Structure 1
Amino acid sequence: MTAASPNDGAQSVQSAQKPQHKTRQAPSVLPESGRRFSVVRKVRLGDVTPKGRLRLDAVARYLQDVATDDSLDGGYDEPHSWVVRRTQMWVTSFPKYLDQVELTTWCGALGSHWAERRTQMKCNGVVAIECAALWVRVDFKTMKPVALSPELIELLQTATGGRKISSRLEIGKNLPDLNSNGATSQDWPIRFSDMDAVGHLNNAAYWEVLEEYLGANSGQRAPL
């Protein structure tokens, strides 16, 4: 299931068992060396569905928060000059209301102007959700990508194990012909509250569209 944005690229939920593309492989295990950052938080009332399940848009906000905390803690140069181009999630189980979750994040791969951030969410000591997000470093004055600094590469590269990554979008690949599957469309309003301090639609807002679909199709269950 995929949603696209002209500003932020693609947000997608993948099957944990059947990745469909070479760049959509299952998340890697925690790196044995290199920088890792962890935080613990509770699942709050505003993060869950009426049945108490942690929503995917709330997961996306958790990812943003731990990314910011990691950048500030690690002393990254210009920690706020990053935008998300694509996000993938592998959901094994959903945390519930008031569950305590531990998020651990690290750099999974590097490119010339971007980096992949991996995040693992544990609940009751068991991995519940794993995520991979591609963050592009930009100059907020021009909104154009800028190269990663040598200092930042030195800080992050050990955890990557030498892995490189492309920024290419793949939305539309491996999707069925919508014209032959009785597809329907629906208008989706963009609200002022969906915008963030960077001046664009926040990436977590895209996942609200998927949550609307899941809410209307209650048969959807983890794993996703």
Structure 2
Amino acid sequence: MAKSLMPVPDPHPDVFDVEWPLRVADVDRTGRLKFDAATRHIQDVGSDQLREMGFEETHPLWIVRRTMIDMVEPIVFKDMLRLRRWCSGTSNRWCDMRVRIEGRRGGLIESEAFWININRETQGPARISDDFVAGLQKTTPVNRLRWKAYLTAGAREDAVDVRPYPVRVSDIDIFDHMNNSVYWSVVEDYLAEKPDLVAAPLRVTVEHDLPVALGDDLEILRHDYPAGSTDAFGPDVANRTVTTLTYVVGDEVKAVASLFAL
């Protein structure tokens, strides 16, 4: 949970580098770039890089298993966003991809996401072609990336809060389940009551276990762990206050999020 994110290898010809404006739908009432909007940008720049690399037709389907986002400094409305994307770890079926989002007038968001290449017919993990992997490895020496969960679901019995989260038709994507960015709308709902967290550098991680479908009775279980009680998250987080949000349908865990100040 307290891992150090790979620094941007700049300048580097294989770092994908684009700009686009920050739009009104991307910001909250204060003008801050929201986490759910940042996640959409992370998805979109991934699609653009895939097209630029020439693999949009051969590797069209990807799902994200984990996204870690550090809001180092808020990016505010009417700014121009610079997004840089590069690979920080590879395997033959999945990869870690870093995205740095900067505002021209200030503000910085760092992220890393664990992406799995999906076979259209089986809907399972698929091998990434050798030439694609070779391109990804130009920015990282990590070529034996393994999946390891960082987060543990909280139980309903000791949750400090349980809230329903209705799933809307507009939340469902091409895979017929709730899009990754919607999980971050849940994070924004929590942060609306915690302005002190948004004011400081903040790390939020979302891990996905199972998809959420239209019609599911989704609930969010919240657990708060005070500083000094968080050694279960690792020694580097033991002195932090950590909040977890567990996404459940009945007794089935769909995803888990964690939040703590950096």
Q: Aligned pair 1:51/2:25, yes or no? A: no
1:157-211 alpha-carbon deviations (Å, 9 max, x no partner) = 12112354222323218x7x8856x611111111110111232211000000010
Alignment TM-score, normalising by the size of structure 2: 0.70
Structure 1 or 2, whichever has the larger Rg, is 2
Q: Which has the higher strand share?
A: 2
Paired residue total:
199
Residues in 1 aligned to 2:120 and 2:143: alpha-carbon distance in whole angstroms: 27
Consecutive unaligned residues in structure 2, runs of 5 or more: 203-262
In structure 2, which of residues 7, 10, 14 is the aligned counterpart of residue 35 of structure 1? 14
Please show how residues 1-224 of structure 1 align to structure 2 within 5 Å. 19=2, 25-31=3-9, 33=12, 35-76=14-55, 78-124=58-104, 128-172=108-152, 183-220=160-197, 221-224=199-202
Consecutive unaligned residues in structure 1, runs of 5 or more: 1-13, 20-24
Q: Which amino acid is 2:120 matched to?
A: F
Alignment partner of 1:122: what SS?
strand
Given that 1:31 and 1:160 are in contact with CA atoms closer than 8 Å, whether structure 2 keeps it comes out as: no
Given that 1:84 and 1:136 are in contact with CA atoms closer than 8 Å, whether structure 2 keeps it comes out as: yes
Cα 1:47/1:117, change in 2 over 3 Å: same
Given that 1:37 and 1:104 are in contact with CA atoms closer than 8 Å, whether structure 2 keeps it comes out as: yes
Query: What percent identity do the matched residue pairs reach?
Result: 28
Given that 1:34 and 1:159 are in contact with CA atoms closer than 8 Å, whether structure 2 keeps it comes out as: no
Residues in 2 aligned to 1:121 and 1:214: alpha-carbon distance in whole angstroms: 20
Given that 2:94 and 2:115 are in contact with CA atoms closer than 8 Å, whether structure 1 keeps it comes out as: yes
Alignment partner of 1:204: what SS?
helix
Alignment TM-score, normalising by the size of structure 1: 0.81
Alpha-carbon RMSD across the aligned residues, in angstroms, is 2.1
Q: Higher relative CO (CA 8 A, sep ≥ 6), structure 1 or 2?
A: 1
Residues in 2 aligned to 1:79 and 1:67: alpha-carbon distance in whole angstroms: 12
